[in-house]
Chains A and B, each alone.
Chain A
Amino acid sequence: GAVVSQHPSRVICKSGTSVKIECRSLDFQATTMFWYRQFPKQSLMLMATSNEGSKATYEQGVEKDKFLINHASLTLSTLTVTSAHPEDSSFYICSARAGLDRGGVETQYFGPGTRLLVL
């Protein structure tokens, strides 16, 4: 199957600093990528939908100035957590829409996630 990478896999930063997380589709082009946040022992919470060449669509309650998303190319989307605080510590997962597969089903592939710890 298609591969999605995320970098870094884990990051520790000081409160008040900004952190950038990259999501790359390695062997396919993704016009749409999704960013999720996952708290321990909980489900995935969709933060925003990232579309190549246009502004991201944020879910209700997600601060767009806090979580900056850029989808500058068909293979790369970035999530920047600005002025990070301890409450931003979480596991962030991206997925990339790969279009219709051989079975004619819209398919998403997931990155391995990024663990963010803000001290």
Chain B
Amino acid sequence: AQTVTQSQPEMSVQEAETVTLSCTYDTSESDYYLFWYKQPPSRQMILVIRQEAYKQQNATENRFSVNFQKAAKSFSLKISDSQLGDAAMYFCAYQEDSNYQLIWGAGTKLIIKP
């Protein structure tokens, strides 16, 4: 069965600095999608960024970028120029191409120090 592992329960970063959140996953599939979701204190899940496994190019969304290493089954999220509003729980999630269910990591709590 597919699994998603986030080994950092909590991370902290100084405002305006860069932070990287780690995520590894296990699958025998070749076609799948990976996501990073943000859950702020309001608890509304917000899609931050996604990556299609067949794409070699790392996805980027403004200050958010990923380092996707398919062979290593690693999918880290880099947040540049951290802002106070980035403080939240961040969840890594996996989805097979043929199955719409999301497999979730345990989450990483990101603290932004002013």
Which residues of A are interface residues toward B (Cβ below 8 A)? 1, 32, 34, 38, 41-44, 46, 49, 91, 93, 95, 97, 105-106, 108, 110, 112-113
Contacts and interface: CB of A to CB of B under 8 A. Distances in A.
Interface string B82-114: 000000000100010100111011110100000
Interface of B: 33, 42-45, 47, 50, 52, 91, 95, 97, 100-102, 104-107, 109
Among B50, B101, B107: residue with most chain A CB under 10 A: B101
Interface of A is mostly: strand
Nearest to B98: A106
Contacts of B42: 112
B102 to A, nearest CB: 7
A113 B42 CA distance: 9
Contacts of A46: 101-102
Contacts of B102: 34, 44, 46, 95, 108
